[in-house]
A and B are shown apart, each in its own frame.
Chain A
Amino acid sequence: MQELKVQEDAASAPAVTKRGTAIVVTSGKGGVGKTTTVANLGTALAQRGAKVVLVDADVGLRNLDIVLGLESRVRHHLLDVLEEKVSVDDALVADKHSAQLCLLAAAQTREKEDVDTEKMRALIATLAQRFDYVLIDCPAGIEMGFKNAVAGADEAIVVCTPEVSAVRDVDRVVGLLGNRFRPRLIVNRVRPQLVAKGKMLSVEDVNSILRLPLLGVIADEPGVIIATNRGTPLALNGASKAGAAFRAIAARVAGEDVAAPEVAIPPQGLMAKLGSLFGGRR
């Protein structure tokens, strides 16, 4: 494969400057929104003018293509590239909405153990020379798939939901990552009404346990499901709060100091407080 050879040459001639940043999006637990985060963060970064490639490292359970609405365009996949059957350029799929964004899909009929960790590391390094951001969608779990997804990354973003199981798994993953990846936290699927009633862990609760730099907070909204149904990431939707939250996260990833809480917790009225004291399960 052409690019990998370039990389090997680069190892002997250290003059090649690295351009972009490779960020792995991980969580330990499945179903917390890793793929949605990768799709939206990538879309939002591309909208800002950055050149972005999304790498689906979830070999065997390919999903990033369908979330982006690109499933019909995928011809070759990650393992074809790693096994040097096709070049990187032949395998990259251009996004529908942005010429700045492209996808390297996972193999659907292969296994995570088929990925050669060193080749994966070299591929990510090659991509980082050509793109501003390489976002790696990590599979759930902490086994081989996780290790391969993390191998070439410079940084990590961990996605957590306000649930005990997700928090515990993120804690474990952060322990496995160590200090090298400087993991930053996204708290996804927050339901402000439940938080206000004391029925859901707040972002502060979650991060009092995890103690990570907070990259962003995304409220649970039906729009996320609708966007996935259509294959059009919410980051493109100007009316969506979750879309705005993803754009704010993209700005922070790009180094901008965007403050402003994206999820406001509604203050509880006195009657609601009294009501919750005397009735109902908390």
Chain B
Amino acid sequence: MIEFFNRLFGRQSSSATAKERLRLVLLSDHLALAPDLIGDLKRELVDVISRYVEVDRENIELNFEQREKVIAMLANVPILSMHPATRANGAKRSGRAPDGTKRPRRRRKRATPTSNPAPAT
């Protein structure tokens, strides 16, 4: 309730800030990746995908989620169009809708890069 009002007024409680900061720092602790390396990962991932399809770089979402045993990486990459070179022979797929406007496609990629830190001895 109070969070709702705070969102309405564009303000976040310090406990909500604490929770969000913790979520992010533990993520980077568990991945053993510094926050700026996560940025690098995102950039390089997009570069690879861009070799095959044209992606909407502005609207890419890359999130990590703590699942029961593993951390899951969830990427939401809007695809603007296929590069002609990557289309299969004779395929008629086009990034454009029948009315000629660009039609973003959404693809979801999943990966589970690391499990929880192994117990040290």
Report the count of interface residues on A (CB-CB < 8 A). Answer: 29
Q: Is B88 an interface residue (CB 8 A)?
A: no
Segment 164-181 of A: residues with Cβ below 8 Å from B: 164, 167-168, 171-172, 175-180
Closest B residue by C-beta to A268: B2
Q: Say yes or no for A229: interface residue by CB 8 A criterion.
A: no
CB pair B22 A198 closer than 8 Å: no
Contact B119 A176 (CB under 8 A): yes
Q: How far is the CA of A277 from the CA of B6 in the complex (A)?
A: 7
A195 within 8 A of B: yes
Give the number of A-B contacts (CB < 8 Å).
Answer: 68
Cβ-defined contact, A168 with B6, below 8 A:
no
Q: In the complex, are the beta carbons of A168 and B29 less than 8 A apart?
A: yes
Q: Does A201 contact B (CB under 8 A)?
A: yes
Complex contact B119–A178 (CB within 8 A): yes
Whole-angstrom distance from the CB of B22 to the nearest CB of chain A?
5
Q: Given A164-B18, A175-B119, answer yes or no on A273-B1 (Cβ-Cβ < 8 Å).
A: yes
- Tell me, in angstroms, the Cα distance from A171 to B15 when the chains sit together: 18
B residues less than 8 Å from A171 (CB atoms): 26, 29
Interchain Cβ contacts under 8 Å between A and B, 16 examples: A163-B18, A164-B21, A164-B25, A198-B15, A199-B15, A201-B15, A201-B18, A202-B15, A205-B19, A209-B26, A268-B2, A273-B2, A277-B5, A281-B14, A282-B6, A282-B11
Q: Which residues of B contact A (CB under 8 A)?
A: 1-3, 5-6, 9, 11-16, 18-19, 21-23, 25-26, 29-30, 66, 116-120
A contact residues vs B (CB 8 Å cutoff)? 163-164, 167-168, 171-172, 175-180, 195, 197-202, 205, 208-209, 211, 268, 273, 276-277, 281-282
